[in-house]
Structure 1
Amino acid sequence: MTAVPVRLSTISVTVTAAACALVLAAALPSSAINSYNATPAPERTEVGVLVATWDNDGDPATPDRVDWVCSGTMIDADTFLTAAHCTTDWPANVKFYVSLDQDVQAGLDKAAAAHPGDPAAVAKAVAVQGVAHSHPGFPGPASDTHDISVVELPAAQVKARWTFTPATLPKAGALNALGPQGLKDTSFLVAGYGTQEAQRGPGGHTHPGGGVRMKAPVTYDALNNAWLRLAMTAPQGNGGACYGDSGGPNFATLGGRLTLVATTITGDTPCYATNVTYRLDSPGARDFLSPFTKLP
């Protein structure tokens, strides 16, 4: 497996908010997660998308780019959980926004037409601005890269635009407590706004779609101290994550309750085999999250 972070590439993204500009060589319908065994997820109203504005023309006074870049989840009224590689390594004037719209790409396209040349207005039309806090230890060692961050948002503005129930976080060591057989018997669900698996074409591989909230079943593969690996192979009835799904949720049904147990971080390059996710029941993740939200 070739491990690659699955933040949407931000190279050559235009002010018209054409998400996935590098991978949308063909005009295909927007989708997210892998196209196989996936369905829209309008009911997952706590799952959102990270939108960014930034400078790319040498004039930092004003942003000239806007796009959605990653997925994530509301874990309380004003805290959006995502991945640290989504909120680091940006130009100094980057600003982050969060949208809980089902089809953020359509919203960005409409806003770009209404506010040509004004990335900030485009972002504000679809999302609420917040402040990102990345794990101070990112990037850490492979055993635990600390690839986790939150975006703190003005709760009143979020409440005025969307209705949602924050995701339930796991208790400490919840996945370990299941044991190997319990993990195999557990139902997992991945959600996000990312692109589809690799498609072969005249110009090589592309990853079409993106910008629409989708979901797909996944199954247990492996567990270690910081990572939960989930199988997303089609013959087993699975779907899976791809580019742009970084930071997005991986839910497990624990005690009959849908619980946010991990966030998407990386996987194989064509997005066919494995979703490598960051555990939220680990001591490191809980230590980072505890100042921002109440933990079970």
Structure 2
Amino acid sequence: MRTATVAAAVVAFAAVTAAPAFAVNTYNATPAPERTEVGALVATWDNDANPATPDRVDWVCSGTMVDRDTFLTAAHCTTDWPSNVKFYVSLLQDVQSALDTAVGTPAQKAAAVGVQGVAHSDPAYPGTSAAPHDIAVVELPAAQVAARWSFTPATLPTAGRLDALGPQGLDDTGFTAVGYGTQESQRGPGGQTHPGGGVRMKATLGFNALNNNWLRLSMIESQGYGGVCYGDSGGPNFATVNGKRVLVATTITGDAPCYATNVAYRLDSPAARSFLAPFVTLP
């Protein structure tokens, strides 16, 4: 579960054919069928000389339902698309298999696995490396979502919640990343590849560093951690705070091979809360 676009040494973790794509590592990671509030962002778009008819469909990123009709993801997942792009959200455990077996046009396949919504990206994106504003939501018809899936929306953090934990509290906190991304870099006859993706996975990560907008988490295998990769962009990073699971950050970037660090956008920051306020009730 990894993502990138912040610094020269990192890579955005979106999983589109028009952009990068990733998933949770093979090491120290397990399926996450119980995380029913975590979903995949699916897109249809044009890829030929006839823009009137979308001819591509694929899952492109990860994200989380933060209320009954709001799917939280990353802005780099919802921007820089052809004008006829349409977004869908799927809460299926295995989105890739569902797309593989769906029949019909790209729009019909997308509708078979997900619910169509309207994306809203932070207008300040891409911002700067220190203040990236890399956050977006997809607003969905609540009745359609409820008719297809049962889930409990994720709990967002209060303002400055990670700061309040302090250095020792952050070191002692358990972090879990969830997403649909690809696997870490693997060498093969054709060079390095990132296989897999499209299945909801989870992994435990360790605290590395914190600043105003970024939470950095270690996913080093020898330390017992797993992590994220391409396609995990926009996906949740949960922390257990006072015995409760809280969605504290979203995966944005990391190292290109997907072995070392998950760089996640803090949701307890003023910038993130300012963007989210019109769409959800903040704690």
Sort the TM-score into its range (normalised by shorter chain). over 0.9
Q: Which residue of 1 aligns with 2:76?
A: 85
Give the Cα–Cα distance (whole angstroms) in 1 for the partners of residues 247 and 19 of structure 2. 33
Equivalent residues of 2:13, 2:232 under 8 A apart: yes
Q: Which residue of 2 aligns with 1:36?
A: 27
Instruction: Encode CA deviations 1:31-71: one digit per residue, 9 max, x unaligned.
Output: x4000000000000000000000001021111000000000
Give the Cα–Cα distance (whole angstroms) in 2 for the partners of residues 123 and 90 of structure 1. 17
Residue 3 (str. 1) matches residue 20 (str. 2): no
Give the Cα–Cα distance (whole angstroms) in 1 for the partners of residues 184 and 10 of structure 2. 15
Residue 106 (str. 1) matches residue 113 (str. 2): no
1:146-225 residue pairs with structure 2 within 5 A? 146-225=133-212
Aligned partner of 1:262 among 243, 249, 257: 249
Q: Which residue of 1 aligns with 2:64?
A: 73
Q: Which residue of 1 aligns with 2:3?
A: none
Give the Cα–Cα distance (whole angstroms) in 1 for the partners of residues 276 and 19 of structure 2. 33
Secondary structure of the 2:209 match is strand
Equivalent residues of 2:16, 2:58 under 8 A apart: no
Secondary structure of the 1:240 match is coil
Residue 234 (str. 1) matches residue 221 (str. 2): yes
Deviation at 1:12, TM superposition (A): 10
Give the Cα–Cα distance (whole angstroms) in 2 for the partners of residues 185 and 58 of structure 1. 54
Give aligned pairs, total. 276
Instruction: Encode CA deviations 1:92-148: one digit per residue, 9 max, x unaligned.
Output: 00000000000001100110xx22xx1000000000000000000000011111000
Give the Cα–Cα distance (whole angstroms) in 1 for the partners of residues 158 and 210 of structure 2. 16
**Which amino acid letter does the alignment assign opposite residue 148 of structure 1?**
I
Distance 1:12 1:242, change over 3 A: closer
Give the Cα–Cα distance (whole angstroms) in 1 for the partners of residues 162 and 182 of structure 2. 28
**Which amino acid letter does the alignment assign opposite residue 86 of structure 2?**
K
Give the Cα–Cα distance (whole angstroms) in 2 for the partners of residues 290 and 130 of structure 1. 19
Instruction: Encode CA deviations 1:54-89: one digit per residue, 9 max, x unaligned.
Output: 001021111000000000000000000000000000
Q: Which residue of 1 aligns with 2:110?
A: 123
Q: Which residue of 2 aligns with 1:276?
A: 263
RMSD of aligned C-alpha atoms?
A: 1.4
Distance 1:201 1:138, change over 3 A: same
Q: Which residue of 2 aligns with 1:134?
A: 121
Secondary structure of the 1:217 match is strand
Aligned partner of 1:55 among 7, 23, 46: 46
Q: Which residue of 2 aligns with 1:145?
A: 132
**Which amino acid letter does the alignment assign opposite residue 7 of structure 1?**
A
Give the Cα–Cα distance (whole angstroms) in 1 for the partners of residues 49 and 164 of structure 2. 52
Give the Cα–Cα distance (whole angstroms) in 1 for the partners of residues 66 and 244 of structure 2. 15
Give the Cα–Cα distance (whole angstroms) in 1 for the partners of residues 196 and 258 of structure 2. 13
Structure 1 segments of 4 or more deviating over 6 A? none
Give the Cα–Cα distance (whole angstroms) in 1 for the partners of residues 279 and 139 of structure 2. 8
Which blocks of at least 5 consecutive residues in structure 1 are unaligned? Answer: 14-19, 24-31
Which blocks of at least 5 consecutive residues in structure 2 are unaligned? Answer: 1-7
Q: Which residue of 1 aligns with 2:5?
A: none
Q: Which residue of 2 aligns with 1:287?
A: 274
Percent sequence identity is 72
**Which amino acid letter does the alignment assign opposite residue 10 of structure 2?**
A
Deviation at 1:287, TM superposition (A): 0.3
Give the Cα–Cα distance (whole angstroms) in 1 for the partners of residues 128 and 14 of structure 2. 19
Give the Cα–Cα distance (whole angstroms) in 1 for the partners of residues 67 and 156 of structure 2. 10
